[in-house]
Structure 1
Amino acid sequence: MPLTPKQAAFCAEYIIDLDATKATIRAGYSERTAGQQGYNLLQREDVKAEVQRLMTERAERTKVTADEVINELAAIMRAKVSEIVGYEPGMTVTDGDVSVKVERFFNWIADCINGVQDFATTYQDYLDVNSFIDTVLFMEFVGDLDGRHNNRLFATHDGTRWSATVYDLDRTFQTGISGSATPGFGIWGLVLANLRDECNARYAELRNNGILSLKTIFDLATALDRKIVDD
């Protein structure tokens, strides 16, 4: 049975940025259930086949290799600061500006944890959602207890929306501690509780693409083991 117009549209949108939730919305599905719908679509063999066909077709059409993409991204990252959009020569940021924006973010987190603000209706004003979802999944994937309970790294380019990334992975794979990575802690607990559908959909993407796999776990563990030396 051929794909429905919406399913075909989802496939076409998905290969743009590999974001199932956004692709689902752009394809015309309900925004309210986009996370789960995207996950469900990616479980279908006919959808996966169409996605692969479109990606192969695009690769053939553009003749762009992964190495070429990486080299281009590296060139962009090496660009001079003066070439970055939004930068103006002599631009300065005062300590007061920084303090206000940092306090705005952390006060919001505290308010959400304490029930003063509603995370579900305000998070898009504060978070780069994709980076927080990816960080949560990574911490769960490698058992990063230290990152969940202690070390965190946030960054922002505009002082309004913040991104998250991992930092100081000294207890990766739960080394040096017993137990399991417990959900429900601080900002990560809020993300898991309120964006579970989006987390599930993103996890499905990463599994389907082979990014999260047994081989990945083995390679990460092996690389970590090689960095450990006897005292």
Structure 2
Amino acid sequence: MAKLTLKQQRFADEYIISGNATEAAIKAGYSKKTARSIGQENLTKPDIEKYIDEQMQQLESEKIASKEEVLSYLTSVMRGEQTEQTLRGTGEGAQSIIDIDVGAKDRIKAAELLGKRHRLWTDKVEAEVQGTVVFVNESEIPD
């Protein structure tokens, strides 16, 4: 990939924030007079388009938990390693926020979800059948 100029990179970064090419061009330092056409032109340049796509993918991957992260969190809840905040009365109607251990119901739910993930409690039987399976209608079977 060709290196973007500083102005092109600022344009791309501003476009990611606002989604508006004209506004991004102005903030990147392009003339207000030509900002609209420059903004649209920049969006068609392969290097800028690729940079924007890569940055958007990175932002999305940072926002969405991976399956390992979810399993790790559920495990820490199940083991009682997580806390949650709650309000505690301090007298005369005042309250303060305190950390408490995660409740048993939440720990059981985390264990249940982990168990489902690892197929610990499944009633289904997985069978691999080799050969041809023929289904016969019972009314067609002679006595």
TM over 0.5: no
- TM superposition score normalised by structure 2: 0.43
Kindly name which structure, 1 or 2, has the bigger radius of gyration based on alpha carbons.
Answer: 2
Q: Which protein is richer in helix relative to its size?
A: 1
Structure with more contact order per residue of length (Cα contacts < 8 Å, sep ≥ 6): 1
- TM superposition score normalised by structure 1: 0.27
Q: Which protein is richer in strand relative to its size?
A: 2
